[in-house]
Structure 1
Amino acid sequence: MRNTLGVVILLTLILPWKLSDSVTYKLTNFRCQSYENSFVTINQCRLKAISRNKTILNFNASLANPANSIFLEYQMLKRANGYKPWLFNVKVDGCRFLRKPYDPITVLIYNVYRRFSNVNHTCPFTGDILVLGMYLTTQIKTIPYPTGDYMLSMNWIFNHKPQFITNVSFQFVEDL
């Protein structure tokens, strides 16, 4: 029993390190659409290719009014004859989450873009929302999923009204 536990711990430490060389993430598409330009104006929404395997995401939106209540509805979609719902569909209170993170999947997503963004305080939000130079690395593989094309669709709700939607498509390839 003791040897089995030791082997499991050893494999837990070594396998992610070895698999990180064979895992590739690449941003493939980024779409943004504002429902109401009088509240949110999207100034920049684009991907920029840096190299063959590295693409960065830039997003800049301006809020005309303070947002005191922010909700985020997001879902993961997998491409198979069009994008189909896959794995999760979540609604999160953004103000509560930024005070004290409570949803594990949202924590994973937030950790991906946190260091590239100015979204680091609680409500109310005013001015510009920026995500500059964001790219995907192999350190984000914490949920096991198969090779394929995926899209994270996020519907942003400010002050109880849908304001804009962002769709981030990426490719995940695992060569074993």
Structure 2
Amino acid sequence: MQVSSKFELTNIKCTSLDKTFSEFEYCYLKSVNRSYKYFSLKVNLHKIPITNVSVNFSLMKRLSRYKPFLYNITIDACKYHASRNKNPVARFFHSQFEPYSNMNHTCPFKNDLIVDKVTISTLNHHYSELLPFPEGDYALFTSWYAYGINRADVKVYASLS
């Protein structure tokens, strides 16, 4: 007997908190067919180069509302890219979109940031095989800071059944 989980993306919300610093050109979830769904986003950076970046990852689970679940960490993205294997939790989150992104280098960031077509199959592998999660509705809330100021929030919603 084999048990398998199914990961389903349900929504993505991207918010630019300082449009003079950065803006989302696009941020969407696309369903091609029943089994192929992905999300993509592009952030236009207006004040480059950016030499100081940190990111807060909060994994949330919906009970009566979304509540913290398992991880809530903040990392210095510039230091993380210099030595990726020192923080396994950050590595877990980054590996989900690393092959689909141009955010795979140390600071400074000199170009617009792109995450292109992160598929359900990639996320399903992370949340049902690498680190099995219990069934439920989840959200990954990320806050992106530059120079200590929150510049953008990205929220990805999903369910695991």
Q: Above 0.5 in TM-score?
A: yes
Give the aligned partner of residue 6 of structure 1: none
Q: Which residue of the other structure, out of 96, 99, 105, is the alignment partner of 1:112?
A: 96
Q: Deviations over 1:75-97 (max 9, x none)?
A: 11001112111111101010011
Q: How do 1:6-155 and structure 2 match up within 5 A?
A: 19=3, 22-65=4-47, 66-101=49-84, 102-137=86-121, 138-140=124-126, 141-155=129-143
Q: Which consecutive unaligned segments of at least 5 residues does structure 1 have?
A: 1-14
Q: Look up the SS of the partner of 1:67 in the other structure.
A: coil
State whether residues 32 and 167 of structure 1, in contact with CA within 8 Å, keep that contact through their aligned partners in structure 2: yes
Aligned length: 155
Determine the C-alpha separation between the residues in 1 that align with 2:93 and 2:148: 22
Q: Percent identity among equivalent residues? A: 26
Q: Look up the SS of the partner of 2:97 in the other structure.
A: helix
Cα RMSD between the aligned structures?
A: 1.5
Larger Rg: 1
Following TM superposition, by how much is the alpha carbon of 1:144 offset from its aligned partner in structure 2, in angstroms? 2.8
Instruction: State the TM-score, normalizing by the size of structure 1.
Output: 0.83
4+ runs of 1 displaced by more than 4 Å? none
Determine the C-alpha separation between the residues in 2 that align with 1:80 and 1:154: 20
